[in-house]
Amino acid sequence: MQLLSPKNWKDYELLDAGDFEKLERFGQYITIRPEPQAAWHRQWSTADWEKQAHVKFIPKSSSNGDWKKFKQMPDQWKIGYPIGKTSSIQMRLGLTSFKHVGIFPEQAVNWDAIAGFISKIEKPRFLNLFAYTGGASLAARAAGAEVTHVDSIKQVVTWANENMQSSKLDNIRWIVDDALKFVKKEVRRGNTYHGIILDPPAYGHGPNGEKWKLEDNIAEMMDEVLKLLDPVKHLLILNAYSLGFSSIIIENFLRSSAKENQSELQTGELFLQAKSGIKLPLGVWGRLTKE
């Protein structure tokens, strides 16, 4: 099992985490947000946190809340991330009512892996499932892939499209659909992809009310997704942010396919290293690679 943390961020920094919150810098703005994994005590004082922070998310329920501003800042702004040695992507951030700002910074580890793999493939095809605001889609497109981006929320796909344009990229295929339904349709069509990433939520809904629950649906999803892998060269990344999931579960989903396809199987955890010294765990991952 490998512990991986992004190394190339300049526009993002985890400053501290604890007491079920995290203090983060996104560009020039510093936020305080809830973090269920941060069960320990914070390293810095509450006064230090609030002195630095521009804004804090105040939950009203389990699914939404409001932002309290301590200093002047915009509701939307942009940050960048380097892809390879010559490219970069731009992501628009925003103060949403559900505590997210439009990016999961730990996923930069996967963006780097995707771009590195895609750059070695001739005419690569890439599929991003549960694709959110498109970090992985942009990384794959910047590396030269033909990209299909699938998410069930139209507004989020629109947000991803804005990020594509800000990154001076084009020709990403946008799909608003239930991820499992889309994968099944692609299997029936006989389509395959060199690269696939899926980062499914613990709970979710499709555009027509389809219900997604990670522990109930992930086995069926993986059965279908594995049929879409190009048999000669492929990279599959399965990422899961769930308090009940371990990397051993991820390994068990992928091990049979690894043997069948003679793929390299790797598993581990993602984390962010805080400036205060603490490590914040942010999900488990597994990769199948065949080059």
What is the per-residue pLDDT for 6? Answer: 97
What is the per-residue pLDDT for 243? Answer: 64
Residue 31 lies in a domain: no
Between CA 101 and CA 73 the distance in angstroms is: 14
Between CA 95 and CA 57 the distance in angstroms is: 9
Residue 236 lies in a domain: yes
Residue 138 lies in a domain: yes
Least confident of 38-52, 107-121, 133-147, 210-224: 210-224
Burial code of 143-158, b = ≥16 C-beta within 10 A, e = fewer?
Answer: bbbbbbbbbbeeebbe
Residue 89 lies in a domain: no
Torsion of CA 127, 130, 131, 137, to 10 degrees: -20
Model confidence band, residue 286 (pLDDT cutoffs 50, 70, 90): very high
State the residue range of the domain holding 160: 104-290
Tokens of 186: 């692609």
Place of tokens 């400053």: 15
Half-sphere exposure of 155 (CA within 13 A, CB side): 3
Rounded to the nearest angstrom, the gap between the alpha carbon of residue 19 and the centroid of all alpha carbons in its chain is 24
Contacts from 248-252 at CB under 8 Å and sequence distance 24+? 249/284, 250/284, 250/285, 250/286, 251/286
Whose CA is closest to 89, among 187, 166, 204? 166
Residue 75: CB atoms within 10 A of its CB come to: 11
Q: Which pLDDT tens digit goes with each residue over 82-96?
A: 998 889 999 999 999
Between CA 134 and CA 140 the distance in angstroms is: 10
Beta pairing, strands 279-290 & 264-273: antiparallel
Half-sphere exposure of 189 (CA within 13 A, CB side): 10
What is the per-residue pLDDT for 8? Answer: 96
Residue 45 lies in a domain: no
Phi, psi of 223 (to 5 degrees): -55, -40
Residue 278 lies in a domain: yes
- Record the pTM: 0.95
User: In percent, how much of the chain has pLDDT > 70?
Assistant: 99
Residue 127 lies in a domain: yes
> How many structural domains does the chain have?
1
User: In percent, how much of the chain has pLDDT > 90?
Assistant: 84
What is the per-residue pLDDT for 56? Answer: 98
CATH of the domain at 257: 3.40.50.150
Phi, psi of 30 (to 5 degrees): -115, 130
Q: Which pLDDT tens digit goes with each residue over 12-71?
A: 999 999 999 999 999 999 999 999 999 999 999 999 999 999 999 999 987 799 999 999
Between CA 35 and CA 232 the distance in angstroms is: 40
Place of tokens 């771009």: 115
| 107 contacts 114 by C-beta, under 8 angstroms | no
Tokens of 232: 């000669």
pLDDT surpasses 80 at 178: yes
Query: CA dist 105 to 11, 25, 212, 273, Å?
Result: 10, 11, 24, 11
Residue 10 lies in a domain: no
Whose CA is closest to 138, among 117, 106, 165? 165
